[in-house]
Structure 1
Amino acid sequence: MTVFSSSSSTPAALAAAAWVVVLLAVLRSDVAQASSDDAVLWPTMPPPSPPPPVGVPAPVLLRKLLRPAGGDVAVGGGGGGGVRPHRVEDGCAGADDIAIDQAHASPLPSGVPAYTVDIINRCTGSGGGTGEECAIANIHVRCGWFSSVSMVDPLVFRRVGRDDCLVNDGKPLQAGETISFEYSNSFPYQLTVVDATCVASTSPAP
């Protein structure tokens, strides 16, 4: 009867068993590390907010409407002039009460275009007043390098500087008064009021 000895196979079996134990320990460590990494990278998210109750409108963000500074709206005149709105409820408003109306006129015999200009004091007083507080003087107009082929009375309208013309020699226009002139050039000038001063009326008492 043949007997097999296990003395030669025992060390190999023990070594294999030892390696199995080591591998199991390494795998268990990797699984534990992966679990901890997932806990760091994927934190628990808070639950979503519940929807608003049925029948309750969603909040609305209100926006404040702002008016343009000054409130002036230029309206083109016949030759490029502008007309400012009149603010009767505020009494004399200085430059805001001066309107400029410009239109084409008959050209010169040489064919040079001509333009008529009316400068109007539209102030009539506040609250139905007599207009005595509506005289406006020192009216300055933005006019570029104003010039004219035909003569313009310098006491009515003249250039006193670059882009600066003086109306009525600086004297006041009374409430409702209009001062007019005509000039000739190959193109119309854009005339807009930039400055004017409310003064006491100089009209004679009735």
Structure 2
Amino acid sequence: MAEPNRIWGDTCSKSDIVINQGPTAPLPSGIPTYTVEIMNLCVSGCNIAGIHLTCGWFSSARLINPKVFKRLRYNDCLVNDGKPLINGGTISFQYANTFLYPLSVSSVVCT
């Protein structure tokens, strides 16, 4: 595994956040659902806050707790209400839409 690119002195980088998502059982209405897991895999034991994802016009037919995940504006979604995701921690949610949204980390804050 390659060492993530780090700026000298940084304790973490956006490559320390790993996103996995995959299909789950559809809603009774037949709308596909997906489970998303967002993990802090920082090797230096860091907590990471202010996790923003590129997410397009993300929307869901299933309500998502906005403290877990919310779209702020086009292509900007906030994870965990901006609070730190502890080292080794995972936050997950499910959404329902006719297609899977590509999600990737756009910015983080090392804490």
**TM value normalised by structure 1:** 0.50
* Separation of aligned partners in 2, 1:105 and 1:188: 11
- Report which of the two has the higher share of helix: 1
Q: 1:117 to 1:192 in 2, by over 3 A?
A: same
**Aligned counterpart for 1:106 among listed residues 25, 28, 32:** 25
SS in 2 for 1:149: coil
Task: Give 2:3's aligned residue.
Answer: 87
Structure 1: runs of 5+ lacking an equivalent: 1-84, 126-130, 200-206
**Aligned counterpart for 1:159 among listed residues 68, 71, 74:** 71
8 A Cα contact 1:86 1:96, kept in partner: no
Which fold has the larger relative contact order, with Cα–Cα distance below 8 Å and residues 6 or more apart in sequence? Answer: 2
Letter in 2 for 1:144: G
- Report which of the two has the higher share of strand: 2
Q: 1:166 to 1:99 in 2, by over 3 A?
A: same
**TM value normalised by structure 2:** 0.90
1:21-32 matches, within 5 Å, as none
SS in 1 for 2:14: helix
Could you give the per-residue CA deviations for residues 58-83 of structure 1, whole angstroms, max 9, x where no partner exists? Answer: xxxxxxxxxxxxxxxxxxxxxxxxxx
Q: Are 2:37 and 1:118 aligned?
A: yes
Q: Are 2:83 and 1:171 aligned?
A: yes
Displacement of 1:86: 7.1
* Separation of aligned partners in 2, 1:105 and 1:96: 26
Letter in 2 for 1:99: V
Could you give the per-residue CA deviations for residues 94-151 of structure 1, whole angstroms, max 9, x where no partner exists? Answer: 21100000010100000000000000000131xxxxx2xx010000000000110011
Please report the RMSD computed on the Cα atoms of aligned residues, expressed in angstroms: 1.9
1:188-203 matches, within 5 Å, as 188-199=100-111
Structure 2: runs of 5+ lacking an equivalent: none
Larger radius of gyration: 1
